[in-house]
């Protein structure tokens, strides 16, 4: 079945044709990371919480369903394209309910890992499972610290892969845990478990990761401490004293910077473009993609956007204006990769469209996402004429070549699907993206926005 430009077929494929120019203000979903956390913290808070403008992708809907299975009343009170408002009424952390069946986390590693931390801190039993993609994602990094805290964790493949069975304990033992791989999900799982520990729980990161959980807990009355750590100050030490109660909150979720990244690259790399991105979260631990693209020569104006008092999480927000730019290759450090981990696929596209050579170091964690993103992006960009080499955790991309439309494979990974769609707007001819329907996992309506900005 042949698709119109940008429209996924019934089989989930899409065709994107080269655009003469790009204009307008693409509608963005609510920040996925913050939406997950707002729902989970509403479960832990006794009383009523309001979450405004949450992302409405499949992953966030999955977390909402899990929160309801664990004893909260979850109500969708308004729907818009890619956005939803929630009202959550919960009996609180002390009354998290034991589910009567398997908690289906579908494709969401955030849901599985952070929920495991919550369940571990209560005397309940739960099995967390998901789809075929989630069953390939490692869980040993949460199983080890949660076991050390006193929970009982069992998982497939000698404790390394889902499904995960968690038998919680109250109270847990506090721990001082050094993380081996930068992961905000692992850090958050341990900190959420630490809310039910008898003493101080500490996570030590050699590379600081996104700090939404810490900010949002502080906004809900929990005294989370953070400080720089390590010889160059690139790491962070995060501590929380348990047991700790979480207060309900009213929070407005900013636009997702990971979703905005696709349009930032489109606007900067296309020869005739000007795009305005509204109310984008510019948290210092999430804005790396903006700063890296600026180092490559991208013209991105940043205009602080005021809120209405319903922030609930202390998150900075800005409008971004991106225009056609002359991009050039740079060296991207492991620290920058850790800070922009979700944006690396579309950053690789920017590198392929820039002049000169770009080296992206420290990409190993990308092999353990919804797909092997290192292999997926290298294969897809090479099919379009880019020169991409992979040596261990280092990607080298030689830019300056005109990309040509080709058939690409999403590997059922939403970020690969959207990266190849943006490539299709700039490459000659037309680009087919197989499995493009998975974009709805994080960005419902993405292909509609493709058509809006080309019109």
Does the annotation count 342 as an active-site position? Answer: yes
* Candidates 342, 361, 391, 448; catalytic one: 342
Q: What is the 3-state secondary structure (H, E, C) of the chain?
A: CCCCECCCCCCCCEEEECCCCEEECCCCCECHHHHHHHHHHHHHECEEEEEEEEECCHHHHHHHHHHHHCCCEEEEEEEECCEEEEEEEECCHHHCCCCCCCEECCCCHHHHHHHHHHHHCCCCEEEEECCCCHHHCCCHHHHHHHHHCCCEEEEHHHHCEEEEEEECCCCECCCEEECCCCCHHHHHHHHHHHCCECEEEEEEECCCCCCHHHHHHHHCCCCCEEEEECCCCCEEEEEEEECCCECCCEEECCECHHHHHHHHHHHHHCCCEEEEEEEEECCCCCCHHHHHHHHCCCEEEEEECCCCCCCCCCCCEEEEEEECCCCECCEECHHHHHHCHHHHHHHHHHHHHCECEEEEECCHHHHHCCCCHHHHHHHHHHHCCCEEEEECCEEEEECCCCCECCEEECCCCHHHHHHHHHHHHHCECEEEEECHHHHHHCCCCHHHHHHHHHC
Q: Which residues of 429-450 are buried (b: 16+ CB within 10 A; e: fewer)?
A: ebbbbbbbbbbbbbbbbbbebb
Q: Which residues are catalytic?
A: 342
């Amino acid at each position: 079945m042949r698709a119109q430009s940008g429209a996924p077929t019934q089989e989930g494929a899409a065709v994107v044709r080269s655009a003469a120019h790009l204009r307008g203000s693409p509608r963005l979903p609510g920040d996925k990371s913050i939406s997950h956390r707002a729902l989970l913290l509403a479960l832990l808070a006794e009383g009523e919480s309001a979450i405004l403008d949450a992302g409405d992708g499949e992953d966030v809907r999955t977390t909402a369903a899990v929160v309801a299975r664990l004893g909260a009343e979850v109500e969708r009170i308004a729907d818009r394209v890619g956005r939803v408002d929630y009202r959550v009424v919960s009996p609180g952390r002390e009354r998290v309910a034991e589910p009567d069946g398997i908690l289906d986390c579908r494709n969401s590693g955030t849901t599985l890992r952070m929920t495991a931390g919550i369940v571990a801190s209560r005397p309940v039993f739960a099995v967390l499972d998901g789809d075929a993609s989630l069953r390939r994602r490692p869980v040993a990094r949460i199983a080890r610290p949660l076991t050390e805290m006193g929970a009982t964790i069992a998982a497939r493949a000698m404790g390394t892969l889902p499904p995960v069975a968690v038998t919680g304990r109250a109270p847990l033992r506090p721990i001082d845990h050094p993380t081996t791989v930068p992961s905000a999900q692992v850090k958050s799982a341990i900190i959420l478990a630490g809310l039910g520990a008898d003493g101080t729980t500490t996570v030590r990161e050699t590379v600081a990761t996104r700090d939404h959980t810490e900010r949002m807990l502080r906004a809900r009355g929990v005294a989370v401490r953070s400080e720089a750590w390590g010889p160059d100050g690139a790491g962070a030490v995060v501590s929380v004293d348990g047991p700790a109660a979480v207060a309900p909150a009213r929070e407005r979720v900013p636009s997702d910077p990971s979703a905005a990244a696709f349009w930032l690259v489109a606007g900067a790399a296309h020869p005739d473009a000007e795009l305005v991105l509204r109310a984008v979260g510019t948290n210092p631990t999430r804005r790396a993609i903006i700063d890296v693209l600026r180092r490559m020569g991208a013209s991105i104006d940043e205009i602080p956007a005021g809120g209405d008092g319903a922030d609930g999480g202390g998150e900075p927000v800005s409008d971004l204006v991106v225009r056609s730019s002359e991009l050039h290759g740079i060296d991207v450090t492991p620290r920058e990769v850790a800070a922009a981990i979700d944006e690396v696929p579309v950053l690789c596209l920017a590198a392929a469209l820039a002049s000169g050579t770009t080296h992206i170091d420290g990409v190993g964690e990308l092999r353990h996402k919804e797909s092997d993103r290192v292999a997926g992006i290298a294969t897809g960009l090479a099919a379009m004429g880019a020169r991409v080499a992979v040596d261990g955790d280092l990607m080298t991309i030689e830019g300056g070549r005109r990309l040509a439309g080709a058939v690409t494979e999403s590997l059922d990974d939403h970020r690969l699907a959207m990266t190849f769609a943006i490539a299709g707007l700039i490459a000659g001819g037309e680009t087919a993206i197989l499995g493009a329907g998975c974009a709805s996992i994080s960005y419902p309506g993405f292909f509609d926005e493709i058509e809006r900005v080309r019109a």
